[in-house]
Chains A and B, each alone.
Chain A
Amino acid sequence: MKTETAPEAPAVPPAADPRPPARVLPVWANPRLGLLIVIAALVVLFSSLTPAFLDPRLTLAPLQADISVYVVVGLAQLAVLSLGHMNMAVGRMAALSTFAMGLAYDRLGVPLLVGLLLGLAVGAGIGALAGLLIAKTGVNSFVVTLALDFGLLGLVTILYTWATGGVSFAVQPSGLAALRFDTFADYCMGEVCGPRIPLVVPIAVAAALGVGLLFRHARLGREILMTGSNTVAAELSGIPTHRRVVTAHALSGLLAALAGFLLAANNGAFSANIGESFLLPSFLAPVLGGTLLAGGAVSVLGTALGATLTQVIYKGLNLLQFSLEELKLYIGLVLLAALSLDRLRAVLAERRAVSPS
Chain B
Amino acid sequence: MSRRMLSRIGSGLTVVALATTTVACTKKSDNTDAETGGREPAQVKVALVPGGSHPYFQPWKDAGAKAKTELALGDVTFNETAGWDQTKQNDVLKSLAAQGYNAFGVFGVSPDNINSTFEDLKRQGFPVGSLASCPAGANKADFCLSTDVEVAAYKGAKAAIDAIGGQGNLVHLTGNKVDSNTQRRIAGVEKAVAETGGKVTLIQSVTDIDKDLQSAQRAVADLLAAKGRQIQAIVNTAYNPAVASAEGVRQSKLPIKVVAIDDDPTVLDGLRGGSVAATILQNPVGQAQVGSYALMKLSGGCTMAEAGVTIDSGSFVVTKDNLDGYEADRTAATEALRKKFDGDLLKCS
Contact = CB atoms under 8 A, between A and B. Distances in A.
B91 A315 contact: yes
A7 B6 CA distance: 13
A161 B32 contact: no
A37 to B, nearest CB: 25
A140 interface: no
Given A50-B99, A193-B28, 19 more contacts: A5-B10, A58-B94, A58-B98, A59-B95, A167-B178, A168-B136, A187-B25, A188-B28, A194-B21, A209-B11, A209-B14, A269-B112, A269-B113, A272-B178, A315-B91, A315-B95, A319-B98, A321-B79, A323-B81
Indicate the size class of the contact surface on chain B: 35 or more
B88 A277 contact: yes
B35 interface: no
Contact of B81 (A66, A181, A202, A324): A324
* 4 cross-chain pairs, A with B, having the tightest CB-CB distances, nearest first: A268-B116, A269-B113, A168-B112, A58-B98
A231 B183 CA distance: 52
25 contacts: A5-B10, A52-B98, A53-B98, A167-B110, A167-B179, A168-B110, A180-B120, A181-B120, A181-B123, A186-B28, A188-B26, A194-B21, A217-B4, A266-B90, A268-B119, A269-B116, A273-B86, A276-B85, A277-B85, A314-B91, A318-B91, A318-B92, A318-B95, A324-B80, A324-B83
A273 B81 contact: no
B56 to A, nearest CB: 15
Interface of A: 5, 7, 50, 52-53, 55, 58-59, 62, 66, 157, 160-161, 164, 166-168, 170, 180-182, 186-189, 193-194, 202, 209, 213, 217, 263, 266-269, 271-273, 276-277, 314-315, 318-319, 321-324, 327
Contact of A160 (B7, B87, B100, B178): B178
Nearest to A314: B91
B113 A59 contact: no
A321 B97 CA distance: 12
Contacts of A319: 95, 98-99
Contacts of A58: 94-95, 97-98, 124
Given A168-B113, A187-B27, A322 B7 contact: no
A14 B301 CA distance: 67
B226 interface: no
Contacts of B123: 181
B77 to A, nearest CB: 7
Contacts of A157: 178
Contacts of B116: 180, 267-269
Nearest to A277: B85
A262 to B, nearest CB: 11
Contacts of B1: none
A52 B180 contact: no
B53 interface: yes
B93 to A, nearest CB: 10
Interface of B: 4, 7, 10-11, 14, 18, 21-22, 24-28, 32, 53, 77, 79-81, 83, 85-88, 90-92, 94-95, 97-100, 110, 112-113, 116-117, 119-120, 123-124, 136-137, 178-180
Nearest to B92: A318
Contacts of B136: 166, 168
Contact of A277 (B22, B87, B100, B112): B87
Contacts of A315: 91, 95
Contact of A321 (B7, B77, B83, B179): B77
A283 to B, nearest CB: 18
Contacts of A7: 7
A268 B113 contact: yes
Contacts of B178: 157, 160-161, 166-167, 272
A210 to B, nearest CB: 9
Contacts of B10: 5
B25 A188 contact: yes
Contacts of A66: 91
B10 to A, nearest CB: 7
A186 B77 CA distance: 32
Contacts of B53: 324
Given A58-B98, A319-B99, A267 B86 contact: yes
A204 to B, nearest CB: 13
Given A187-B26, A324-B80, A59 B86 contact: no
A62 B120 CA distance: 12
A27 B19 CA distance: 36
B95 A213 contact: no
Contacts of A321: 77, 79, 99
A255 B222 CA distance: 41
Contact of B87 (A168, A182, A267): A267
A161 B183 CA distance: 12
A271 B86 contact: yes
A59 B21 contact: no
A1 to B, nearest CB: 15
Given A166-B178, A188-B25, A277-B88, A181 B32 contact: yes
B135 to A, nearest CB: 10
B152 to A, nearest CB: 20
Contacts of A5: 10
Nearest to B81: A324
Contact of B18 (A62, A202, A272): A202
A330 to B, nearest CB: 12
A323 B26 CA distance: 43
Nearest to A54: B98
B21 A217 contact: no
Contacts of A180: 116, 120
Contacts of B90: 266-267
A146 to B, nearest CB: 21
